[in-house]
């Protein structure tokens, strides 16, 4: 099955997989859960949105944070302001002081686990927040989107109108915070929690030479080859 049109490929892939499902297609399928971790500037957010659209499943990004905040009993807006910084270097004491409540880092960690597990009860794509680790014991497809620093910086520079050197610093700083955040949040629960640990993912795509549109069929094929059923959109609506 080859085509230069990624959208035609997607439609054909879903149609074939749905046709092969047989009598099982009449049964309620197991939740189709995809986690997507991404480097800043690698196009992960665009890929996640396109993938959710093609699979007709919800996309959860900030919703994970909002649900975790609700479970922790803190203001989602305050937690959002602290989000990228919150676990990269803060201690329990500092985290609690910054939140201005009885919520400490451990409470947030527990609430994050609960939020991700709750959202994973139904079809969906979960972006970031360590969902690939939290759901590692659940039937899920874990994707990581990466890119070289200079190419990611060029994209950010073009998108935000920044000088290239400023964009490169931004890419480095955000990726560094994400890596440290994951390690600080999950090092006590997982032996290998680094975002660079390839075995934590089912598929890693370098988007230096692959556009977001062309990455989506690759992911869909990976999901299918991993044994998941790609039902027609109407069947998952």
Q: What is the mean pLDDT of residues 9-25?
A: 50
Over 90: is that where the pLDDT of 119 sits? yes
Q: How far is it, in rounded angstroms, from Cα 27 to Cα 43?
A: 35
Q: How many domains does the chain have?
A: 1
Name the band, by pLDDT with cuts 50, 70 and 90, for residue 69: confident
Query: In this predicted structure, what is the pLDDT of residue 182?
Result: 87
Q: Do the domain assignments include residue 86?
A: yes
Cα angle, residue 119 at apex, residues 212 and 206 outer, rounded to 5°: 25
Q: Do the domain assignments include residue 196?
A: yes
The more confidently predicted of residues 24 and 182 is 182
Say which range, 74-83, 105-114, 138-147, 201-210, has the weakest mean pLDDT: 74-83
Q: Do the domain assignments include residue 56?
A: yes
For residue 102, what is the domain's CATH number?
3.40.50.300
Calculate the alpha carbon distances from 115 to 29, 62, 96, 100, 194 in Å.
22, 11, 20, 21, 21
Calculate the alpha carbon distances from 166 to 90, 154, 218, 231 in Å.
25, 10, 32, 44
Give this prediction's pTM: 0.78
Range of 156's domain? 31-224
Q: Do the domain assignments include residue 21?
A: no
Name the band, by pLDDT with cuts 50, 70 and 90, for residue 201: very high
Q: How far is it, in rounded angstroms, from Cα 193 to Cα 183?
A: 6
Q: Do the domain assignments include residue 123?
A: yes
Over 80: is that where the pLDDT of 226 sits? yes
Q: What is the largest CA-CA distance in the chain?
A: 57
Q: Do the domain assignments include residue 26?
A: no
Query: In this predicted structure, what is the pLDDT of residue 86?
Result: 46
Q: Do the domain assignments include residue 235?
A: no
Q: Do the domain assignments include residue 11?
A: no
């Amino acid at each position: 099955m080859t085509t230069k049109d990624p959208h035609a490929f997607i439609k054909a892939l879903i149609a074939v997989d749905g046709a092969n499902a047989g009598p099982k297609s009449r049964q309620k399928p197991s939740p189709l859960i995809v986690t997507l971790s991404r480097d800043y500037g690698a196009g992960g957010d665009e890929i996640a949105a396109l993938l959710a659209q093609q699979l007709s499943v919800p996309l959860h990004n900030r919703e994970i944070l909002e649900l975790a905040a609700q479970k922790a009993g803190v203001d989602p807006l305050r937690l959002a302001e602290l989000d990228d910084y919150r676990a990269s270097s803060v201690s329990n004491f500092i985290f609690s002081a910054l939140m201005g409540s009885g919520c400490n880092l451990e409470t947030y960690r527990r609430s994050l686990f609960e939020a991700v597990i709750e959202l994973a009860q139904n079809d969906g794509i979960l972006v970031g927040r360590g969902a690939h680790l939290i759901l590692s014991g659940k039937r899920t497809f874990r994707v990581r989107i990466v890119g070289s620093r200079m190419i990611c910086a060029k994209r950010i520079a073009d998108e935000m109108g920044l000088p290239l050197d400023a964009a490169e610093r931004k890419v480095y700083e955000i990726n560094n915070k994400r890596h440290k955040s994951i390690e600080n949040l999950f090092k006590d629960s997982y032996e290998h929690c680094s975002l660079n640990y390839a075995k934590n993912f089912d598929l890693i795509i370098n988007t230096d030479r692959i556009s977001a549109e062309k990455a989506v069929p690759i992911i869909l094929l990976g999901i299918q080859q991993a044994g998941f059923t790609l039902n027609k959109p109407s069947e998952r609506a």
